[in-house]
Amino acid sequence: MGRQIFDSRGFPTLECLLEMEDGFVVQSSVPAGASVGHYEALELRDGDKKVFNGTGVLKAIYTLETIIAPALCQKAPDLIAMDELLIELDGTPNKAYLGANTTLAASIAVARAQAYVQGLYDYALLAELFQQKPTLPRCMVNILNGGMHADNGLVFQEFMIMPSQQVGMNETMSIIFDVYQTLKHLLHDAGHITNVGDEGGFAPQLVPKGLKKQYAALDFLVQAIERAGFTVEDVSICLDAAANYFYDAKTKRYVIEGDFLTSADLVSFYEELIKRYPIFSIEDGMSEDDWEGWQLLTEKLGDKIHLIGDDIFVTSTEKLMRGVEEGVANGVLIKPNQRGTISEAYAALALGSNAEYLTIASHRSGETNDPFIADFAVGCAAGYLKVGACVRGERVAKYNRLLAIEKTL
């Protein structure tokens, strides 16, 4: 059965409950993004503007209970076979019929049911099905928010930090905690508010305009790293530029508070950033439709840092294959709700891994307390994981799950 619950941004989302023969109930719930690529699989929403401004999921519940449940129930749970059935039932390239939120809720529930039947942890089932060695991911942790995640004028959407070396989860959390809390005090002492954005990172109103505002944010990050007792060799910075949201398709310019940049101008700006700061990766450095810009970016910086494609690839094997063939990016973000089933998300991850792209499993800005993405990252050996800041319950649930998994490995 389905149930309408609410995500971390207060929007309706879908919870799926699946009862086993012995009465045990497995549950799953799905996230939603604020920063959504145009080519992502479609969610099924109610569309009635009078109720939750059209974002309700009663249609998804009806679909889950009247179309999906009859096709899956009374059968032994089999994730791969049932994902194939969900894809067949939908029959569209973008889940326009059943909705990616509906199919993903079912897919996760089936995975948990199969893990329960086989007496396995969720990550262990995925590792067995996809023939991977369970691997704890390195965590890219969002500590400053901008873009679509905070109304503060910062154009870049996420300013993240990550321990530069592979360390255990307790040490990872200790490093992140120290830098995060130090940043809070630095912002406070500089007269900035320390409210947080959608993903738990601070959302200060920084004074400089245009490109210089990004420098100001990065200066705070470096200062926090060093004030917390680390060096820029100990802690790296990861950026999500989310360039879709400052790209003007008509003029083919990137607009940053009055600055109008060509793709080449923006690449030059990124080149300057990586000279000044310990930047490990830049996600969505160009718009999803600016393939030429992406090629230029990869040509200029691909041998220096990791260039992560999210909106341009949207967890699609077809789009990722084009990227590999055309020399676009060298990393890929994997978001299961961009496709609608675990199997499709893993297929994109495997393709990226085989092409020697950095592979990063990722949450969404509108999250629930369901920690499945942590199990997905470990069981599918993603290598890296984004789940937001180390605050707010829906984010901390994922970190706590990783701490628990570490004890079992």
Question: Positive or negative CA dihedral for 45, 48, 52, 57?
Answer: negative
**Quick one: CATH architecture of 138-408?**
Alpha-Beta Barrel (3.20)
Question: Cα 24 to the chain's mean position, in Å?
Answer: 30
Q: Given a cut of 80, is residue 373 above it in pLDDT?
A: yes
Work out the burial of residue 285: count CB atoms within 10 Å of its CB; fewer than 13 is exposed, 13-18 middle, 19 or more buried: buried
Question: Cα 404 to the chain's mean position, in Å?
Answer: 21
| Catalytic hit among 213, 319, 335, 398 | 335
pLDDT digits (tens, 9 = 90+) for 182-223: 999 999 999 998 989 888 999 988 877 777 889 999 999 999
For residue 332, the one-letter residue type is V
Of the candidates 335, 327, 378, the residue with the CA atom closest to the CA atom of residue 356:
327
pTM, to two decimals: 0.96
300 has catalytic annotation = no
Task: Kindly compute the dihedral angle of the four CA atoms of residues 156, 335, 345, 313, in this order, to the nearest 10 degrees.
Answer: -30
pLDDT digits (tens, 9 = 90+) for 270-312: 999 999 999 999 999 999 999 999 999 999 999 999 999 999 9
Reported CATH class of domain 2-120: alpha beta
SS3 annotation, 338-404: HCCCHHHHHHHHHHHHHCCCEEEEECCCECCCCCHHHHHHHHCCCCEEECCCCCCHHHHHHHHHHHH
Q: Given a cut of 90, is residue 154 above it in pLDDT?
A: no
pLDDT digits (tens, 9 = 90+) for 37-65: 789 999 999 999 999 999 999 999 999 99
**Residue intervals in the chain for CATH 3.30.390.10:** 2-120
**Residue intervals in the chain for CATH 3.20.20.120:** 138-408
Q: 319 to each of 269, 313, 380, how far by Cα in Å?
A: 26, 5, 20
| Catalytic hit among 15, 40, 158, 199 | 199
Work out the burial of residue 189: count CB atoms within 10 Å of its CB; fewer than 13 is exposed, 13-18 middle, 19 or more buried: exposed
Q: Given a cut of 70, is residue 181 above it in pLDDT?
A: yes
199 has catalytic annotation = yes
With both helix axes pointing from N to C terminus, report the angle between 79-90 and 100-118 in degrees, rounded to the nearest 10: 160
- Would you state the pLDDT for residue 37? 72
- Mean per-residue pLDDT for 259-272? 95
Give the chain's length.
409
